[in-house]
Amino acid sequence: MLPCPSLSRSGLHARRRTRGALRVHAVAAPIIPGKGECPLYRDRTGKLIPAMCADYGFRSGAGRLYQESYGEVPKDVWQLAKDNYRHELEQLRRAVRYPPSDVRQPSHPVAKALHTANGVVGAALASLDKALEEARVLPELQPPPVRSALETQEFKEIRARLDQLRLDADDVIAVERERIATGGGDMESPLWVKAPFYALCWLLDIMYDNKPIEKFWVLETVARIPYFAYISILHLYESLGFWRAGAELRKIHFAEEWNEMHHLQIMESLGGDRAWMDRFIAEHSAVFYYWVLILFYLVSPRMAYNFMQRVELHAADTYTAFLQRNAAVLESIPPPMVALQYYYSEDLYLFDEFQTASRGAPPRRPRCETLLDVFKNIRDDEMEHVKTMIACQNSTIAKDIAAASASSSSSPSPSATELPAPATPPKRAAASTVVEE
């Protein structure tokens, strides 16, 4: 691991001063850096906030939000599948032939056994790959790209700080127990809802022991699937003429899914999707999970919301425990650009739309100046999802929607009165992106 410098904010400020002459443009949006410069973001008040210099994720370009091809129409499915499988095959081969040297050893006994088994299978696959390459069945594999051009001093420092982040399952249990003790007890769920939830938690705790960002990335990959499943069923009911009262609900679930998608993008920018195996597990689990949730919602929408309330509560507890343990390190890291673009977005409609239970209160306009702020915002978003899931089970969601319609027709939106004119999301050059396994 690389040595980590002082974690104080003064160290970061010193680094900001050494970033060189940054060009500042009068634009209320990201400020695209020149060569050798780090990006800045101008918030709604005109304040300039330094963003994380690099992107530590696997994807770039059309694979990521707010990068090149943003908002464009995709190619046909065959071309996309072909591109993806070609890319992933190469990454799989590199993952077994050039395994990363900085993988953290797990501490849980089952996780250790899985880690050892993974090493044995990887070594066997590497031998097979070499044999197939020598037999000219597979093309010659190039080693991973040299990253020296991207590895600035700041890149290394932030990477070292990210590697210091820890998440302990016992901390999460302690937060959960405290919430239950101080919040009037645990929520009610039948056993058939509780059982898959606890199985999922146990599995993820073991598989992602000592890998918090990877765990959050997997969690956020599956976190938006239920909302997509609920939208699918509501859409189907509307098309079949069974139930058309759910159109407003569909809008709320889309806003929730949009919010979870940004959590996912933040975890990607921090490098949560670097390992081929993590991508394979999360993306295939998401497809399976979708169909399970479809069944859930068909049989009992109330229980599907109950299940999701548990999942969202667990997510909030996990982020709370993570924040408690890592506050100092998180405060020393600048926010990723995708977080700035979301939390300071001009698209206030979608951000306010999922916070159904907080209507009537002043709209949330969270601070986003460090990675600590980013994780606090994500935790607070998860709590908003919990409130919405409770409202969906108690049918108060209809009253919330009616109240929102009444208030929006009687008062101007905060975006019209308090904020500058919307800026078109700029097309940005891809940030420094690391492709590694």
Instruction: By CB under 5 A, tell whether 384 contacts Fe ion.
Output: no
Q: Decide whether 160 or 281 has the Cβ nearer to Fe ion.
A: 281
Instruction: By CB under 5 A, tell whether 215 contacts Fe ion.
Output: no
Distance CA 376, CA 364 (A): 12
- Region from 37-45, 65-73, 143-151, 313-321 binding Fe ion, contact rule CB under 5 A: 313-321
Pairing of strands 30-31, 48-50: unpaired
Task: Please name the helix (run of DSSP H) or strand (run of DSSP E) that holds residue 40, with its range, or none.
Answer: strand 40-42
Instruction: By CB under 5 A, tell whether 317 contacts Fe ion.
Output: no
Q: Looking at 385, 387, 434, 436, which residue binds Fe ion (CB under 5 A)?
A: 385
Of 220, 129, 208, nearest to 168 by C-alpha is: 208
**First-last CA distance in the chain:** 16
Structure tokens that stand for 119 in this block: 């090493």
> What is the Cα 332 distance to its own chain's centre?
20
Q: Looking at 373, 382, 384, 437, which residue binds Fe ion (CB under 5 A)?
A: 382
Q: Decide whether 253 or 263 has the Cβ nearer to Fe ion.
A: 263
- Region from 80-88, 245-253, 261-269, 338-346 binding Fe ion, contact rule CB under 5 A: 261-269
Question: Which residue's structure tokens are 């992602």?
Answer: 208
Q: Looking at 204, 213, 223, 293, which residue binds Fe ion (CB under 5 A)?
A: 223
Residue 269 CB contacts under 8 Å (≥ 6 apart), including other chains:
52, 55, 56, 57, 336, 337, 338, 339
CB-based contact 278:213 (threshold 8 Å)? no
Distance CA 189, CA 382 (A): 19
Beta bridge partners of 359: 361
Question: Which residue's structure tokens are 């820890």?
Answer: 166
Question: Which residue's structure tokens are 């859930």?
Answer: 296
Of 158, 175, 154, 160, nearest to 323 by C-alpha is: 175
Instruction: By CB under 5 A, tell whether 373 contacts Fe ion.
Output: no
Q: Decide whether 223 or 397 has the Cβ nearer to Fe ion.
A: 223
- Region from 217-225, 275-283, 288-296, 395-403 binding Fe ion, contact rule CB under 5 A: 217-225
Closest approach, Cβ 392 to Fe ion, in A, equals 14
DSSP 358: G
Closest approach, Cβ 28 to Fe ion, in A, equals 27
Q: Decide whether 65 or 223 has the Cβ nearer to Fe ion.
A: 223
Instruction: By CB under 5 A, tell whether 260 contacts Fe ion.
Output: yes
Q: Decide whether 91 or 377 has the Cβ nearer to Fe ion.
A: 377
Burial of 32 (0-12, 13-18, 19+ CB in 10 A): middle
**Strand order through the sheet with 48-50:** 30-31, 40-42, 48-50
- Region from 43-51, 194-202, 315-323, 353-361 binding Fe ion, contact rule CB under 5 A: 315-323
Number of residues forming the site for Fe ion (CB under 5 A): 7
Distance CA 134, CA 122 (A): 18
Instruction: Return the residue nearest Fe ion (CB atom).
Output: 263
Q: Decide whether 234 or 315 has the Cβ nearer to Fe ion.
A: 315
Task: Please name the helix (run of DSSP H) or strand (run of DSSP E) that holds residue 50, with its range, or none.
Answer: strand 48-50
CB atoms under 10 Å from CB of 189, counted, come to 15
Closest approach, Cβ 260 to Fe ion, in A, equals 5
CB-based contact 312:244 (threshold 8 Å)? no
- Region from 89-97, 283-291, 304-312, 320-328 binding Fe ion, contact rule CB under 5 A: 304-312
User: Considering only residues 263-292, where is the footprint of Fe ion by CB under 5 A?
Assistant: 263
Closest approach, Cβ 53 to Fe ion, in A, equals 25
Q: Decide whether 12 or 339 has the Cβ nearer to Fe ion.
A: 339
Q: Decide whether 282 or 315 has the Cβ nearer to Fe ion.
A: 315
- Rounded (to 5) percent helix, strand, coil in the chain: 60, 5, 35
Structure tokens that stand for 156 in this block: 């290394």
Closest approach, Cβ 296 to Fe ion, in A, equals 16
Q: Decide whether 221 or 432 has the Cβ nearer to Fe ion.
A: 221
CB-based contact 357:387 (threshold 8 Å)? yes
Closest approach, Cβ 179 to Fe ion, in A, equals 16
Q: Decide whether 276 or 351 has the Cβ nearer to Fe ion.
A: 351
Closest approach, Cβ 308 to Fe ion, in A, equals 8
- Region from 4-12, 38-46, 68-76, 215-223 binding Fe ion, contact rule CB under 5 A: 215-223
Q: Decide whether 214 or 382 has the Cβ nearer to Fe ion.
A: 382
- Region from 15-23, 255-263, 323-331, 387-395 binding Fe ion, contact rule CB under 5 A: 255-263
Angle between helices 212-223 and 247-269 (to 10 degrees): 160
Which residues of the shown chain bind Fe ion in the complex (CB under 5 A)? 223, 260, 263, 312, 315, 382, 385
